[in-house]
């Protein structure tokens, strides 16, 4: 069996709360994360909430990278969803964790789109 996509779901805790509220910083961070994992950016949408918090999504040719932050809890929910065998989503995850100065985290991986076609790049284990 093969999967069309890999979806990393990160719970980032005890982060730098100033960074979690900085839209420009997070926009740069997610775009850099896309580049460092060999993805191609095709669009983005970022929004700063009042009084605090940011939602940001980078649309990549290989799916998406998203972030939702709650500075008041020093928490961010990050998703790195990629398809194809030319990207390395772990690299994006690692870059984001570092930039947000997450002192605690959890990460799970889900395989999305299970098919029986061996031409797709991602074999399930």
Contact positions toward a second copy, by CB under 8 A?
4-5, 7, 9, 11, 42-47, 49, 55-57, 59-61, 63-64, 66, 68, 70, 73, 75, 77, 79, 81, 83, 110, 112-115, 117
Q: Which residues contact 21 (CB under 8 A, 6 or more apart)?
A: 48, 52, 53, 54, 69, 71
Q: Is 37 a catalytic residue?
A: no
Q: What tokens does 84 get?
A: 């194809």
* Min dist. Cβ of residue 10 to a second copy (A): 10
Q: Is 63 a catalytic residue?
A: yes
84 — phi, psi (to 5°)? Answer: 90, 165
Catalytic residue among 63, 64, 118, 122: 63
CB 84 within 8 A of CB 121: yes
* Min dist. Cβ of residue 99 to a second copy (A): 19
């Amino acid at each position: 069996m093969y999967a069309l996509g890999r979806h990393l779901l990160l719970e980032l805790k005890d982060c730098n709360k100033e960074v979690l509220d900085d839209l420009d910083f997070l926009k740069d961070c997610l775009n850099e994360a896309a580049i460092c994992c060999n993805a191609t950016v095709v669009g983005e949408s970022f929004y700063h909430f009042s009084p605090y918090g940011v939602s940001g999504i980078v649309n990549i040719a290989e799916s998406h990278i998203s972030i939702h932050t709650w500075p008041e809890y020093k928490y961010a929910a990050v998703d790195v969803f990629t398809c194809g065998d030319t990207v390395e989503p772990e690299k994006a995850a690692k870059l984001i964790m570092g930039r947000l100065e997450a002192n605690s985290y959890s990460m799970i991986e889900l395989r999305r789109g299970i098919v029986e076609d061996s031409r797709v790049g991602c074999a399930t284990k």
